Structure 1
Amino acid sequence: MIHDYDKYIIPLLHRMINLEELILFLTVIRTDSSFIDGTELCDQVLVHMSQLNKFIFSINTDVFIENNEMDVPLSEDIQNSFIGKEYGQVRSYVHFEPKKPTNQNIDFEEAKAVVKSHIYSLPYQFESFLDLNNSFQGGMFVNVRCLTMTDSYPFEHEFFKIISDRFPLVKNLTISNLEPQKNKQHSSTLISFPHLNLLNLIDAHDDYAQQFLVDMNTHLPCLLDLCILYESLETVTNNFTNGATRLYCSKLKGLHMDKAFVRPKHFDEYFLETNKICSQTRNNPPF
Structure 2
Amino acid sequence: MISYPPLSILNLPSTIFCSLNLTKLCIYVDSLDDCLYLLDGHLKQLTTFIVQINYIGNNLSIIHNTDDLFNLKSFSLTCYNITNEYDNRVIPLFHCMKNLEKLTLYIRLENRSTFVDDTHLHKKILMHMSQLHTFTFSISTMIEFNDSFHLLVDNDIQQTFTNIGYYQTTSTVNYCRESKAICHVFSLPFTFNRLEMITNRFPTIIFHHVTYLQVFDKVQFKHKFFNRIAKAFPLLKYFTISSKLLSLIDFNKYEYDYIQSCPIIQFSHLISLNMMVQNPYYIEQFLLNTKTHLPRLIELKLSYSHLKNVTKNFIRDATRHNSGNIKRLTFCDTCDFPTKFSHYFPFLNTVSYITSTR
Cα distance in 2 between the residues matched to 1:144 and 1:204:
26
Q: How far off is 1:87 after superposition?
A: 3.4
1:79 equivalent in structure 2: 158
Please list every run of 5 or more consecutive structure 1 residues that lacks an aligned counterpart in the other structure.
Answer: 100-112
1:127 equivalent in structure 2: 193
Larger Rg: 2
Cα distance in 2 between the residues matched to 1:126 and 1:93:
17
TM-score w.r.t. structure 1 length?
0.89
Task: Note the 1:25-174 alignment, pairs <5 A.
Answer: 25-31=106-112, 33-65=113-145, 67-99=146-178, 113-174=179-240
1:235 equivalent in structure 2: 309
| Superimposed CA distance per residue, residues 229-272 of structure 1 (whole angstroms, 9 cap, x where no aligned partner) | 11111111111121111112222111111134221131111111
- Any conservation in 2 of the 1:55–1:87 contact (CA below 8 Å)? no
Cα distance in 1 between the residues matched to 2:324 and 2:206:
32
| Superimposed CA distance per residue, residues 132-164 of structure 1 (whole angstroms, 9 cap, x where no aligned partner) | 111112101111111111122111110111110
Question: Which is worse superposed, 196-205 or 113-122?
Answer: 196-205
The count of residues paired between Structure 1 and Structure 2 equals 269
Q: Give 3-state SS (helix, strand or coil) of 2:156's partner.
A: helix
| Superimposed CA distance per residue, residues 69-121 of structure 1 (whole angstroms, 9 cap, x where no aligned partner) | 1112111100101014253410101000132xxxxxxxxxxxxx101110011
- Any conservation in 2 of the 1:155–1:181 contact (CA below 8 Å)? no
- Any conservation in 1 of the 2:249–2:281 contact (CA below 8 Å)? no
| Superimposed CA distance per residue, residues 17-74 of structure 1 (whole angstroms, 9 cap, x where no aligned partner) | 111111110111025x110011111111100100101100000110112x32111211
- Any conservation in 2 of the 1:153–1:177 contact (CA below 8 Å)? no
Q: Which residue of 224, 242, 256 corresponds with 2:298?
A: 224
1:252 equivalent in structure 2: 326
- Any conservation in 1 of the 2:266–2:292 contact (CA below 8 Å)? yes
Q: Give 3-state SS (helix, strand or coil) of 1:27's partner.
A: strand
Q: Give 3-state SS (helix, strand or coil) of 2:281's partner.
A: helix
- Any conservation in 2 of the 1:206–1:232 contact (CA below 8 Å)? yes
Task: Note the 1:149-228 alignment, pairs <5 A.
Answer: 149-179=215-245, 180=247, 184=254, 185=258, 187-203=261-277, 205-228=279-302
Cα distance in 1 between the residues matched to 2:332 and 2:229:
27
Q: Give 3-state SS (helix, strand or coil) of 2:111's partner.
A: strand
Question: Which is worse superposed, 130-139 or 44-53?
Answer: 130-139
- Any conservation in 2 of the 1:146–1:171 contact (CA below 8 Å)? yes
2:94 equivalent in structure 1: 13
1:269 equivalent in structure 2: 343
TM-score w.r.t. structure 2 length?
0.72
- Any conservation in 1 of the 2:276–2:357 contact (CA below 8 Å)? no
Query: 1:209/1:283 Cα in 2 relative to 1: closer, same or farther (>3 Å)?
Result: closer
User: What is the aligned-residue RMSD (CA, Å)?
Assistant: 1.6
| Superimposed CA distance per residue, residues 166-191 of structure 1 (whole angstroms, 9 cap, x where no aligned partner) | 10011110011233366943532111
Q: After TM superposition, where is structure 1 displaced by more than 3 Å over at least 4 residues in a row?
A: 181-184
Cα distance in 2 between the residues matched to 1:178 and 1:235:
19
- Any conservation in 2 of the 1:87–1:121 contact (CA below 8 Å)? no
Cα distance in 2 between the residues matched to 1:237 and 1:182:
17
Confirm or deny that 1:282 pairs with 2:356. Answer: yes
Cα distance in 2 between the residues matched to 1:241 and 1:139:
40
Query: 1:254/1:24 Cα in 2 relative to 1: closer, same or farther (>3 Å)?
Result: same
